[in-house]
Structure 1
Amino acid sequence: MSSNKVYVVGVGMTKFEKPGARDWDYPDMAREAGTKALEDAGLDYREIQQAYVGYVYGESTAGQRAVYELGMTGLPVVNVNNNCSTGSTALYLATQAIRGGLAECTLALGFEKMQPGSLGSTYDDREQPMMKHLLALAELQEFAMPPAPYMFGAAGKEHQERYGTTNEQFAKVGVKNHRHSVNNPYAQFQDVYTLEEVLASRQVYGPLTKLQCSPTSDGSGAVILASEAFVDQHGLGDQAVEIVGQSMVTDMQSTFDDKSAQSLVGKEMTRKAARDVYEQAGIGPDDIDVIELHDCFSANELLTYEALGLCGEGEAGKLIDNDDTTYGGRWVVNPSGGLISKGHPLGATGLAQCSELTWQLRGTADARQVESAAGSNGVALQHNIGLGGAVVVTAYKKP
């Protein structure tokens, strides 16, 4: 990594909504999130030098149409699509531009306008990007539809077979994240469920029930990044949060050679990205106060505990049983409610995670506040993954 420092200076997001619940289109979402981020930073759009705009479902150059709601200054706009890690990929690119000395102030914006129900393919006349993964998984566990819950549910079943993880331990992730979302005005759901209710909801695949699965969602998130010189020139030091480590990893040959459902859904990608970030930032899991991770399904949250090094292999169930990942525990994981309860508009998810962690480190997360994160040594970690595949892990500190 270059020595140039990168800071988050403005964040904003919309409330995440059930598709069709609100009369809006993606330009409206982008305008709302982008305007909030600009106001948070106290900046004019003309000061943004590059924009990276993420979405999964949409026509070419929808990124331009989205940010034209904020202004039309001729700045470079790059459209980004990386499945469920699209938002954090936009963040990664916007960070690289500053770290590499190519820009002083950049915007990462993401949005999604989704169809109700399970995710489907758009183009059926060509190879599906996930086909290689699905064929490999079908050799390990009987194929089922829809693909996403099948893949993560299969990884959960494998974890149960190897380590004795229980249905109740997976369900406790859903209980926790729904409980956390009660205090998040941006969350799609704000309902509390008992363990019995989560377990009794409709079975989807393997240990997964409906209340352990993220919904389809509409919404947008935006993050403004700046260099150290820009922060100093604009007097943004009091609100700036530094990105102290960041890594993006795609599938390795081990994804397929491991003959493991867990590897096929990205566990080893996450493990490598986390190690990269810990080395860059000079931190370890015990230094972290708050984490936003990609709980598209409860199984993935437990797998990610292990991949991030929060516990040893096969020990994730103990963390959730011991309340180690909620308020009063060793870390607070997904104080926002996570994807399961906050919602998952694919292009916006990674930027909503960044927004939540920025508020946590600033001490402005209201009833969701993790007290230790607001201290002078607060450290936050973000994990966002998309199958097919890419993972982005980012570490944040107060400067």
Structure 2
Amino acid sequence: MTGKAYIIGVGMTAFEKPETRDWQYWDMAKEAGGAALADAGVGYEAVEQVPVGYCYQPSTAGQRAAYELGLTGVPVYNVNNNCATGSTALMMARQFVEAGINDCVLTLGFEKMKRGALGGGADAGDFSTSPVARHYGVMAAAHGFEMTPPTAQIFGNAAREHMDRYGTTAEQLAAVGAKNHRHSAHNPYAQFQDVYTVEEVLAAKTIHRPLTKLQCSPTSDGAAAAVIASERFVREHGLADRAVEIAAQAMTTDTDESFASGSCIDVVGKPMSRAAARRVYAASGLGIEDVDVIELHDCFSINELLTYEALGMCPDGDGGKLIADGATTYGGRWVVNPSGGLISKGHPLGATGLAQTAELVWQLRGTAGARQVPGAGVALAHNIGLGGAAVVTMLRR
């Protein structure tokens, strides 16, 4: 790599329940991409390449979306990496810029989804042809297979293991949902803006024990975007006042450690997250102790606790204690998911990683309004997809 990469513009749509608005994925992308370009103060004609992330739209949907912003003939790449798709597209854009290939790259992520739980890629528990067959096979061997939503099932079983192994309580898991719903009350982009107590989270409909509906991310429609630029581009266009440096970024995929233990804690990605975080700390020279604000992949409440541990915020097994002590909200050591996270902001798969990026850029610029983390100077994003990929990104102003 020959240079630094900076985020100079971000944008996103509101995240909404599927079928709420009569719009297509290209309408979402136009709104989010246009907002990111306007935020950067550059036109689409300055963009040299466009990585576009999505999971549920057809091949070359990235082109259909990007054409709404301009017909300049630049390369468009279609990216699909499960729930880590948005941050994977961001990583491609960063690599183009850091390598000196491009000076200005736009990355988009979007999803137009259907209502209801994700099916996990197979019917009636037959995962033989699914990309996550090996992952669900580990779960089935340890816990059997039930007729509940498969993604909730595998994370719910990880939660049971954590409770059995470390004494984590249902109240600690519910506290994650209560915190993130409380945070989203100040986020106009969030799908949900209602506040719930821990008791109300616990009393909600059970999806897969011990996870209730208010501890599970919903299906969502929405889009997010970011403009990535070189140091030269930032200097020549006078954009230093809005530029946020990508200090380091790493992606990891599954290794033997994901499967060898037979534990759902490992198979849902904790080892991948830990490895990616360590690489980012080493590359950036920054540790978790330097971070002020974090957007992490709370697809289910248990994954937030697992990620606390994977990022080194606490020892293994102490994730429940960390949330109970108030260390991950305003007034604590870190503010985690000030946007409301996936649980409350929403989870349109292809857009999630870039929406995390948008929130952290606003935080580092000091423009997050009622969600602002005082004095935020270093931020970390964590995005994960089963199958698998974990992306950790360190940002600094």
1:377-396 matches, cutoff 5 A: 378-396=377-395
Aligned to 1:87: 86
Q: Alpha-carbon deviation of 1:120?
A: 2.3
Aligned to 1:136: 138
Q: Alpha-carbon deviation of 1:397?
A: 0.3
1:345-364 matches, cutoff 5 A: 345-364=348-367
Q: Structure 1 residue 318 and structure 2 residue 317: aligned?
A: no
In structure 1, runs of 5+ residues without a counterpart are: none
Report Cα offsets for 1:39-91 as digits up to 9, x if no partner: 00000101000000000001100000001000010000000000000000000
SS in 1 for 2:155: helix
SS in 2 for 1:217: coil
Q: Alpha-carbon deviation of 1:147?
A: 1.0
Aligned to 2:154: 151
Q: Alpha-carbon deviation of 1:169?
A: 0.2
From the superposition, tell whether residues 360 and 260 of structure 1 become closer, same or farther in structure 2 (CA, over 3 Å).
same
Aligned to 2:13: 14
Q: Is the 8 A contact 2:120 2:150 kept in 1?
A: no
SS in 1 for 2:375: helix
Aligned to 1:214: 217
Q: Partner letter of residue 143 of structure 1?
A: F
Q: Alpha-carbon deviation of 1:142?
A: 2.2
In structure 2, runs of 5+ residues without a counterpart are: none
Separation in 1, partners of 2:72, 2:104? 14
Q: Alpha-carbon deviation of 1:315?
A: 0.6
Separation in 2, partners of 1:215, 1:248? 25
SS in 2 for 1:140: helix
Q: Structure 1 residue 25 and structure 2 residue 27: aligned?
A: no
Question: With structure 2 as the length reference, what TM-score do the two structures score?
Answer: 0.97
Separation in 2, partners of 1:305, 1:206? 21
Separation in 2, partners of 1:244, 1:69? 31
Aligned to 2:281: 278
Q: Partner letter of residue 370 of structure 1?
A: V
Report Cα offsets for 1:139-185 as digits up to 9, x if no partner: 11121231100111111111111100000000000000000000000
Q: Is the 8 A contact 2:121 2:130 kept in 1?
A: no
Q: Partner letter of residue 83 of structure 2?
A: C
Q: Alpha-carbon deviation of 1:205?
A: 1.3
Q: Partner letter of residue 94 of structure 1?
A: A
Q: Alpha-carbon deviation of 1:121?
A: 5.5
Q: Alpha-carbon deviation of 1:122?
A: 6.2
Separation in 2, partners of 1:313, 1:296? 19
Q: Partner letter of residue 55 of structure 2?
A: V
Match of residue 290, structure 2, among 287, 292, 296: 287
Q: Aligned pairs, how many? A: 393
Q: Partner letter of residue 17 of structure 2?
A: K
Stretch deviating more after TM superposition (198-207 or 120-129) = 120-129
Identity %: 63
Aligned to 2:74: 75
Aligned to 1:201: 204
Q: Is the 8 A contact 2:51 2:92 kept in 1?
A: yes
Question: With structure 1 as the length reference, what TM-score do the two structures score?
Answer: 0.97
Separation in 2, partners of 1:123, 1:133? 13
Report Cα offsets for 1:235-272 as digits up to 9, x if no partner: 00000000001000011111111221111000000000
Aligned to 1:99: 98
Q: Partner letter of residue 327 of structure 1?
A: Y
